[in-house]
Amino acid sequence: MHALKKNRPLRRIVLASAATVSGMVMLLSLKPHSTSAAALAVPAPSSSSSASGGTGGSSGSGGSTTVTKTVTGDTIQTRWGPVQVRITLKSGKLTEVTAVTYPTDNPRDQEINSYALPRLRSEALQAQSANIDTVSGATYTSDGYRQSLQSALDSARS
């Protein structure tokens, strides 16, 4: 007897359900080949990004002097690639945090970093330290960002 004969409707239902579930899993596991508009929101790291945040030295108006210091943290190797940040301190206050190096090898890296890096930057500026939360879905980047940020803060304040 053939497995799909009409006298075995339960067997047909099970096979049809399994085929449908398998097809849906395969369909949902496909990754888009184009970069989304959100992925373009964070510029790719380049060697010319060193000008962000000032050049250091002192500036001021009148009798007050504001000391600006720009320091680049250690490059931290993560599972998905290196992460490195540059910070700017004005009179000891963290005023800018820029991701200099971060994973950009594929569209998924770009997508993750387009939402993770601005959130990490915002938290670092708010906390004024490397004591920041991990961004969900960007655990490795968050850990590397935090470690590089801490190394930059340590260098700047020593």
Whether 23 and 56 share a structural domain? no
Q: Rounded to an integer, what distance in angstroms lies between the CA atom of residue 153 and that of residue 69?
A: 11
Per-residue pLDDT, 28: 78
> Does any domain span residue 34?
no
The helix or strand, by DSSP H or E, that contains position 70, with its residue range, turns out to be strand 66-72
Question: Do 116 and 81 fall within a single domain?
Answer: yes
Read off the pLDDT band of 83 (50, 70, 90): very high
pLDDT tens-place string over residues 103-135: 888 888 889 889 899 999 999 998 888 888 888
pLDDT value for 158: 74
Q: What is the mean pLDDT of residues 91-106?
A: 88
Give the total number of structural domains in the chain.
Answer: 2
Asked whether residue 20 falls in the same domain as residue 71, the answer is no
pLDDT in tens, 27-77: 777 765 444 444 444 444 433 333 334 444 444 445 557 788 888 899 999
CA distance 15 to 43: 48
| Same domain for 67 and 11 | no
Torsion over CA: 114, 71, 90, 53 (sign): negative
| Number of C-beta neighbours around residue 51 at 10 A | 8
Between CA 150 and CA 61 the distance in angstroms is: 31
In one-letter notation, the amino acid at residue 101 is T
Residue 98 in any domain: the answer is yes
Domain that holds residue 21: 1-29
Q: What is the pLDDT of residue 2?
A: 59
> Is the entire prediction scored with pTM above 0.75?
no
Give the Cα separation of 83 and 135 in Å (integer). 15
Do 138 and 87 reside in the same domain of the chain? yes
What is residue 12's predicted lDDT score, i.e. its pLDDT? 84
- Are residues 116 and 51 part of one domain? yes
Separation between Cα atoms, residue 83 and residue 41, nearest integer Å: 18
Determine the Cα–Cα distance for residues 117 and 101; give it in Å rounded to an integer: 11
Rounded-to-integer distance, Cα 40 and Cα 109, Å: 12
CATH number for the domain including 153? 3.90.1010.20
